[in-house]
Amino acid sequence: MYNDVQILVAPNDLDLFKERLRHFQMNGVILTSDIQKFFDHQKIRSYTRMQIDTFAWDAYHNLEGVYQWMTDITSKYYEKVTLKTVGKSAEGREILAIEIRNPRAKSKVIVEGAIHGNEWITTEFVTYLAYKLIHADKTLNSRLKQVAKRYHWFLIPVANPDGYNYSMTVDRLWRKNRRDLGNGTFGVDLNRNFDYNFCNHGGSNNPNNEYYCGPEPFSEPESRALSYFIDNNKANLNYYFAFHSYGQKIIIPYSDRVKHIENFSEMENYGKQAILKMYKLNGVKYGVGTIYDTYGYKTSGDSISWVKKTYQVKYSVAFILRDNGTYGYALPQEKIQPTCREMLIGLVELMTVFKSTMKLITVYVFLIFISLCWSKKYYNHSLYRGIPVTENHLDFFNNISKNYDVYFWRLPGLVYRPVEFLVPPEKKAQFIKEAAIKGIYLTTLIEDIQSAFDMQTVKTYIRRNMDSFDWSSYFRLDDIYNWMQDLNKLHPKSMQLINIGETKEKRDILVARVVLDKKPNKPKVIVEGGIHAREWISIAFVTYFLNQIVTAKESKDMALTKIAETYEWYFVPVLNPDGYEYTHLQDRMHRKNTNDVDINRNFGIAFGTVGVSKNKSSDVYCGPIAFSEAESVAMGNFVRENSKNLQYYLAFHSYGQYMIIPYAFSMKHHENFDVVRYMGQLAANSLSERYGTHYSVGTAYDTVGYITSGVSGCWVKKSFKVPYSIILANRRVPLLIHYTILCSTQNAYNDV
C-alpha cells in the first residue's frame, strides 16, 4: 500500500477510469496522455558490420545488431575476449555472452541483461559495460581499471532474445519469453521461473498473466540454459548482477521476505555509497533495499535470489535502471548515455567498496569560521563495522571491550545487526587477527576517526544577524540560545521562551513555545533534541524545525503552514546542555550529562531493568534512581504540566535512520503500535521517495536489535497516554560526519 501504481488506460476507457478513481476516492496523475508518441521517439539503429564505433549508445539496437557487434568486438580483441554460447531460446535463437579473460583474476562476475523483453535499456548498459571493461587499460578511471583487471567477466546482454526481438518488432511491452503454450498463449516470465520459492509470491499460475511463472521451475529453455551456465562457472563466483528497468533501485535479496537476512546491512551500506556517487553525476536519485523495502511487495523465482541461495554468492544484486515513471519503458534514446554513465559509476563504486571496504565517509566542506577546541583526541583510532551472523559472533562482540579498549558506537544486539566501534591503533592488529580467526567480516568505515572529527566545523552566531545561523555548520550552546532569543524578538506574538530548569553546572534548559493562532484547546507537540550530548545533528535539526514552524506563514508552503497552525508547539533543542558543552571542550564522544548519567536511561519507566548499566563509567549508566538528574526532573515536570491535549512527543537522536515506537523495554508490540507503525511507514515511504533515504519503523528491538529502559518517549507515552510518542534516529551516517542536507533542504520538515 501507498506505493505508486502505474498503468496504461485506453483512450476510450479514460473517462470511465477517472470516474472510478473518484468513486473510490483515489488520486490519479496522468504522466503522459499519449504513450505511443514516446515509443515512436525511441530510435532503433542498425549496426554496420565491422564498424564498432557506430555502436555509440545514442539509440537502441535490435537483436541482430547487438549480436553482430558482440561478434565484431570479440574478433577484434580476441586475445582477451571470447564469444560464448549460453544456450538456445524457445524459438531457437542463441543466447550469447561476452567473456573477458584476466589470467590473474581469482574471482568471477556474471552480468545478466534483458531477461524481460521490454527492458531495452538493460541491453544497452550491458554492452556499454562490456566496451568499457575491454578498454579499461586506456581509461583514467582508476577504479574502473581496478575492477576490470581484478575479475573474470561474463556478460549476457540479452538473456531473453525471443522476447527482446518480439518487443522490437511486434509488441513494445512484451515481457515474457515466446514459448508456445498452446491455445494461442505464449510466454513465461523468466524472472519468476527460477527454483527459488517457486511461484509462491509475485507470480501467477495463469498463462495469460504477464507474471506467469511457468508450470515448474526451469521449465523454460532460457532460464534452464542460464542456470547451467551459472553452475558451470560457480567456482569463485563472487558477483552476480542482473539489470532491469524501470524504477531506479538497487535490489538486495531475498525477494520473498520482509526481514533482512545474511549480509543485507553490509550491501545496503555499500549501495548507499554507490547511489550517492550516481546522484553527484546527474542528480538522479536511486533507492536501495529489498523488493519489499523498495516496492512494497514480495516475489519469488527470481534469478538473483536463486543464485545467492544456491551458490552462496555473497554479492548477488539487481539494478533497476531509469527512469522513475515519467517515460518508463519508453525511455528516450537521449537518456541512454546518461543512464549508462551513472550506472557504470555506481557499479564500480559498489564493487570497489565490496572488495576493499573503502572508507565510509562523505564530507561536506564549508569555508567558515572553525572553533574546534575539545581536548580528548582519537588519533589513528579506526571505526569498524562488524555483523554477527551467529550467537558465537555476538558473544565475541559482547566481550571485546576489555581486551581491545573498544568504544562502541552501535552496541551489539541481535545477529545480522551491525555493530560499530572504535579500535585504538595499538590494539588494531591483534583485534583484526582474532576477528579473522572467528570468521567475522569487518568493514573499515573510517581509518582515522580524528581526521573526520577535524572536518567538523563550529560556527559563531552573530547576534541579531539571523542569516548567520544557517545550518551549514554546528553551533555552541550560547550561540543556540542567543539565536533563540533573537528569533523570539522577531516573533513575539507567536513565540515564547520558557526556562524549565537548571543543570548541575547552572545552565538553563530552554523551551520555545510556538502558537501561530490563539484558538483554545489545541493539540500539543513536544519536540526533544540533544538528550545525548554527542548527537549534534539532533540539535541542529530541532533548531531548524523550530525555525520552519515559526516562519511557516512566511514560507507560503500550505502543508507546512497547516501543521504549524494546527498544534501548540514546544521545542527543547538542547535537553543536555552541560553534556553538549563538554563535547565541544573536552570529549567529542561524550554521551551523558556531566554527572555521568545517561539521561535517556533515567526516566521512570522499567527503570534499571534492561539495556542499562549500574557502572558509572558505562555509557548507558542509568543513575542511582529514576529521575535522579536535574535534566530528567526538569523535562518530567515540564511534560506533566503540559500533558493535557499532548498528542505528539517526538525525540530526535542520531544515528541510524530509525523511527522507534514504544516500548523500548519490550520485545512485544503494545497499545496502538500498529497505528503508529502505519503512520511511520507512510512517513518513511515519503522520505524514501523524495530523498532516497530509508528509515526502519518499529520498536527498539525491531529496529536496533536490543531492548532498553528508562527512555523519555516511553515514559511520556505510558504516564500520560500520549498516542504518538516516537523516537527518530536521523541519518545512517556516523554523527561525526559534517552532514547538512537534512537542515539545508527547504522541505526538510517532511523528515519528521
The answer to whether residue 747 scores a pLDDT higher than 70 is no
pLDDT at 3: 62
Q: What is the CATH number of the domain that holds 330?
A: 3.40.630.10
Can you give the pLDDT at residue 136? 93
CA distance 215 to 207: 9
Cell representation of residue 45: 539503429
Same domain, 622 and 655: yes
567 and 433 within one domain: no
Question: Are 529 and 588 within 8 A, CB to CB?
Answer: no
Same domain? 525 vs 386: no
Q: Is residue 367 in a domain?
A: no
Lowest model confidence (mean pLDDT) among 232-246, 399-413, 573-587? 399-413
CA distance 220 to 232: 18
d(CA 582, CA 561): 37
Residue 736's Cβ-side half-sphere holds a number of Cα atoms within 13 Å equal to: 23
Same domain, residue pair 124 and 194: yes
How confident is the model at residue 527, as a pLDDT? 97
Question: Does residue 105 lie within any of the structural domains?
Answer: yes
Nearest CA to 322 out of 577, 119, 169, 130 is that of 119
Residue 460, in any domain of the structure: no
What is the percent of the chain with per-residue pLDDT over 70, rounded to a whole number? 92
Please tell me the predicted confidence (pLDDT) of residue 194. 98
Cβ-contact 431, 423 below 8 angstroms: yes
More confident position, 229 or 425: 229
Q: Which residues pair with 317 in a beta bridge?
A: 241
Residue with cell 495463469: 206
Q: Are residues 347 and 450 located together in one domain of the fold? A: no
Stronger pLDDT, 149 or 32, i.e. the higher one: 149
Taking only the tens place, the pLDDT of each residue in 12-37 is 888 888 888 887 878 787 877 778 88
Shared-domain flag, residues 684 and 619: yes
Asked if residue 392 and residue 332 are part of one domain, the reply reads no
Give 298-311 pLDDT, tens digit per residue.
Answer: 999 999 999 999 99
Structure confidence at residue 377 (pLDDT): 64
Number of domains within the chain: 3
* Per-residue H/E/C for 328-348: HHHCCHHHHHHHHHHHHHHHH
580 and 602 co-located in one domain: yes
* φ/ψ (deg, to 5) at 141: -80, 100
Under 8 Å between Cβ of 384 and 423 = yes
Better-predicted residue by pLDDT, 52 or 228? 228
- In a domain, residue 520? The reply is yes
Q: Across-strand partners of 226?
A: none
Instruction: Say if residue 506's pLDDT is above 50.
Output: yes
Q: Is residue 409 located within the same domain as residue 313? A: no
Query: pLDDT tier at 360 (50, 70, 90 boundaries)?
Result: very low
Distance CA 632, CA 575 (A): 9
Query: What span, in angstroms and rounded, lies between the C-alpha atoms of 587 and 584?
Result: 7
* Domain contains 441: yes
Pairing of strands 185-186, 180-182: antiparallel
**pLDDT value at position 752?**
31
| pLDDT tens for each residue of 641-680 | 999 999 999 999 988 888 999 999 999 999 999 999 999 9
Q: Are residues 301 and 430 in the same domain?
A: no
Supply the pLDDT for residue 542.
97
Q: Provide the phi-psi class of 202: left if phi over 0, else alpha when psi is between -120 and 50, else beta.
A: left
Comparing 381 with 565, the larger pLDDT belongs to 565
Which residue in the block uniquely carries the three cell numbers 515519467?
Answer: 326
386 lies in which domain range?
A: 382-455
The residue out of 424, 455, 486 marking a domain boundary is 455
Q: How many CB atoms lie within 10 A of CB 427?
A: 16
pLDDT band at 273 (very low <50, low <70, confident <90, very high): confident
Please tell me the predicted confidence (pLDDT) of residue 730: 66
Instruction: Summarize the confidence of residues 617-628 as an average pLDDT.
Output: 96
218-237 pLDDT, tens digit each = 999 999 999 999 999 999 99
Cell of 156: 549476457
Give yes or no for residue 375 having a pLDDT over 80: no
Name beta bridge partners: 112.
Answer: 156, 242
Residue 748 has pLDDT above 80, yes or no: no
Report whether 115 contacts 192 (CB < 8 A). Answer: no
| Confidence bin at 1 (pLDDT 50/70/90) | low
- Same domain for 348 and 387? no
Report the distance separating Cα 144 and Cα 636, nearest Å. 56
Decide if 357 is inside a domain: no
Q: What distance in Å separates the CA atoms of residue 147 and residue 427, rounded to the nearest whole number?
A: 32
Q: In this predicted structure, what is the pLDDT of residue 455?
A: 67
With respect to residue 472, please indicate whether it lies within any of the assigned structural domains: yes
**C-alpha to C-alpha distance for 109 and 43, rounded to whole angstroms:** 31
| pLDDT band (50, 70, 90) for residue 182 | very high
Cβ atoms of 648 and 563 within 8 Å: the answer is no
Q: Which of 330, 352, 374 is the last residue of a domain?
A: 352
Q: Are strands 107-112 and 237-245 parallel, antiparallel or unpaired?
A: parallel
Separation CA 688–CA 694 (nearest Å): 5
d(CA 697, CA 689): 16
> Across residues 534-545, what is the average pLDDT?
95
In a domain, 71, yes or no: yes
> The domain spanning residue 446 has which CATH number?
3.30.70.340
379 three-class SS: coil
Q: DSSP 3-state helix, strand, coil percentages of the chain (rounded to 5)?
A: 40, 15, 45
Q: Which residues pair with 385 in a beta bridge?
A: 420, 443
Average pLDDT, the chain: 88
Mean pLDDT, range 104-123, rounded to an integer: 96
Between CA 637 and CA 139 the distance in angstroms is: 65
More confident residue, 323 or 126: 126
d(CA 408, CA 637): 32
Q: What percent of the chain has pLDDT over 90?
A: 61
Are 44 and 181 members of one domain? yes
